[in-house]
Structure formats: structure tokens, C-alpha cells
Amino acid sequence: MTTLTKTEDTPAPTGPEAFLSVRDLSVRFSTEDGVVKAVDGLSFDVARGKTLGIVGESGSGKSVTNLTVLGLHNPKNTTIDGEIVLDGQELVTATEKELEKVRGNKAAMIFQDPLTALSPYYTVGRQIAEPFMKHTGASKRAAWERAVEMLAKVGIPNPKERAKDYPHQFSGGMRQRAMIAMALVCDPDLLIADEPTTALDVTVQAQILDLLKDLQQEFGSAIVFITHDLGVIADMADDIMVMYAGSAIERGTTDQVLRSPQHPYTWGLLNSMPRLDSDLSAPLTPIPGSPPSLLNPPAGCRFHPRCTFQDRVGGNRCVAERPLLGPDRASACHLTADQKRTIFIEEIKPRLG
Ligand code: SF4
């Protein structure tokens, strides 16, 4: 069941000329154990030519959000509230036929594992050519030429010959490139990349990230880049949204979020990451505890069972009252701006180096 209602939660960001605009998005799954609140009151914008990095642990709602944007959820057990507007077109209420037109043509997704996106039964060239034929009405021959051109563009050597290969004849890095070629073959205006380099070694990872940046410059696409790796996001994103337990808990430019993070969860993420410019023998500080079950998330601030700063707030507010994210530069936390500044300067910054 897919429904559309307006909810009141996260205030909308004020992005310029958003190409993708998500407002008060909530996604719930019915399961045998109950209702999973996978995404709860999420709002964000992405403009053309810009990259939004979405960061968070597994189960934070990053991937569900983006599968929902492309209508790739299971409509039988999913309830969606809110708005998803892509280039002026409302997608929550769109029919499957309308969504099919959007997917591949206007928006495309790059997955972490290319083997889930590439069929073992067809040549790589055919799998790149088919969406092009479908969305543009090009002839078989023109689509094949386009597939070869795209393979060349993503750096596959000898693309004319390699287009005739099957996915198992490609290396892992080449399969990832082929999937990027498939995603970009119709010049989509929105590209969603879900952990696209996690399974690759660092050299290939760097090549793929450079390739995405080059292609974004060429096509002017908006990119949503999902990862748990803050190092990758620092390299790729203009803006960052940090997600926790289905909600955005911090948002700002990449520089703001990485240089002066405001939310205790973001502090925890940064503290738990190794840094090349700090003492590599110093122990990392993991965030205590684990992410909550989304069947029954904690009341008040969802991060409170893991937060070591809730005693600075007072009045049991963290347990009783849910903090909301403000517009623009924001963190969903009851700590005052002064408290945050003091904690950051005296306790967090020295640890970040
Ligand atoms: Fe921690 Fe309270 Fe802020 Fe939540 S609202 S992050 S529990 S201080």
C-alpha cells in the first residue's frame, strides 16, 4: 500500500533550485514482527551539478531513502508518506509506468555490487545498449555504438571488443565501470550511488571516484552519494546529511560538517575514524552501544541510549523530547549552541587533531 499524506517533522532545507526535493518522507515496512519505521520525517534538496553525501551506519535509512526515490521499494508491504519531487514531477503518487520512464532516463542508480545489477546471461554491451534503445528509441546499431562509446568513457580499454564480453569476463573494477556506463548511458540528471566503491581496492576506488566527478562535470548531474566512509564523502560531496535511525540528525556543507560537527553522533563517527595526520598508534574511540531497532525506536532523541552528553542537557529532555533538525546548517540535538561550542572546542577537537 502506498499512501501520500503530509506529516510535520523536519523543517525543509532551503536549497537553491532543487532538482530533487524530498519533504517529510516517511517509509514504513509491515513485517511479521511489526512495523519497521525505516525513514521518519526526512527532508533534503539536491541541485543540478551538486553532490549530497548521505552518511550513517547500516540501518540508518540511507539506502531505503534512495530506493524509495526511484520507486524500487516493494509496494505490497510499504507505506510512504511525504513528497518526492524530481524536476517538478511528484514521484510518491506516480504510477509504475511513470516511474519506469524516470528510472534510467532521468535518474539512475549505481549499486555497491555490480553483479546484482548486471545479468550473467547477456553481454556487457547489450546490457548498456538496451536501456538506451528503450528510452531514446535508437536503433540496435546506434545503441550498440553508444554502449561502446560509454565503455570508452568509463575507461574500459579496447571497448569495441570488450563490449562483446559477459560480466564474468570483467574484473571487479571493470564491472563497476560497466555498471556506471549503464547508469549514465541516457545522461540521467540524477545519479544515486549507493556505496559504489566499498568492494574495491583503494586504487580502483580512487579511479572510480575521479570518473564520477569527471562525468558529473560533463553531464551536470545531481549526485546523491551514500556511504559510511567519511573519507570518501570528504572527497566527493558539496553537502553532507548525517542519518541516524531513519532521520537526518545533522546537515551542512562538507566543510562545516567535517570541520565543526555539531551533533554528538557526528562527533562519534569522526572520533571512530583513523586519520593519517594524527597519531596512528592512538586508540580509536568507537561509539558505545549499537543502532536501535526500528521496530521500536527509543523515545525522545533516538541517539540518547548511546549519547555520553545527555547529562549536559538537563530536565530529562533527551529521553522525553525528540529534537528536530532546523533548516540549512543544523543538528537535531537539545544541547544549546554554547554547550556544543564548549564541548567541541574542549573535548572533541583535540581528539580529531
Ligand atoms: Fe545527546 Fe541529548 Fe543531543 Fe540526543 S539531544 S544527541 S541525547 S545531547
DSSP labels for 309-352? TGGGT-TTHHHHS-----SSSEE--SS-HHHHHHHIIIIIHHHH
Residue 107 has pLDDT above 70, yes or no: yes
Residue 9 has a pLDDT of 44
Residue 59 has a pLDDT of 85
Using CA atoms, how far residue 139 sits from 119, 143, 187, 203, 272, in Å, is 22, 6, 17, 37, 52
Residue 281 has pLDDT above 70, yes or no: no
Residue 190 has a pLDDT of 93
To test the pocket of ligand 1, the residue of 287, 309, 331 to mutate (highest count of ligand atoms within 8 Å of its CB) is 309
Residue 240 has pLDDT above 90, yes or no: yes
Residue 4 has a pLDDT of 32
The pLDDT of 43-62, averaged and rounded, is 92
3-state secondary structure of 55: strand
Q: 185 with 130: CB under 8 angstroms?
A: no
Provide the pairing of β-strand 107-110 with 89-90: unpaired
CA of 302 to the centre of ligand 1 (A): 8
CA of 322 to the centre of ligand 1 (A): 9
Q: Is the CB of 310 under 6 A from ligand 1?
A: yes
How many alpha carbons fall within 13 Å on the CB side of residue 284?
Answer: 14
| Share of residues in the chain with pLDDT > 90 (%) | 53
Residue 8 has pLDDT above 70, yes or no: no
DSSP 306: G
pLDDT tens-digit readout, 284-341: 677 888 899 999 999 999 999 999 999 999 889 999 999 988 776 689 999 988 898 8
The pLDDT of 92-120, averaged and rounded, is 86
pTM confidence score: 0.87
For residue 271, which of 206, 197, 348 has the smallest C-alpha distance? 348
Residue 154 has pLDDT above 80, yes or no: yes
Residue 275 has a pLDDT of 58
Q: Which atom of ligand 1 is nearest to the CA of 319?
A: 7
Residue nearest to atom 7 of ligand 1 (CA): 304
The pLDDT of 158-186, averaged and rounded, is 92
How far is Cα of residue 318 from the mean position of the Cα atoms in its chain?
27
Q: Which atom of ligand 1 is nearest to the CA of 318?
A: 2
Residue 39 has a pLDDT of 95
Phi, psi (degrees; rounded to nearest 5) at 183: -65, -35
Q: Pick the residue with more confidence: 73 or 42?
A: 42
Average pLDDT of the chain is 87
CA of 311 to the centre of ligand 1 (A): 9
Residue 68 has a pLDDT of 92
Q: Is the CB of 245 under 6 A from ligand 1?
A: no
Q: In whole angstroms, what is the distance from residue 93 CA to residue 82 CA?
A: 10
Q: 86 with 103: CB under 8 angstroms?
A: no
In the numeric block, which cell numbers belong to residue 140?
Answer: 540496435
Provide the pairing of β-strand 247-253 with 330-331: antiparallel
Q: Pick the residue with more confidence: 224 or 271?
A: 224
Q: Is the CB of 307 under 6 A from ligand 1?
A: yes
Using CA atoms, how far residue 192 sits from 18, 113, 230, 313, 349, in Å, is 15, 14, 17, 37, 32
Residue nearest to atom 5 of ligand 1 (CA): 333
Q: Which atom of ligand 1 is nearest to the CA of 312?
A: 8
Residue nearest to atom 3 of ligand 1 (CA): 333
Which helix (H) or strand (E) covers residue 35, if one does?
A: strand 34-47
DSSP 283: P
The pLDDT of 242-260, averaged and rounded, is 94
The pLDDT of 33-52, averaged and rounded, is 94
> For the ranges 219-233, 273-287, 324-338, which has the lowest average pLDDT?
273-287
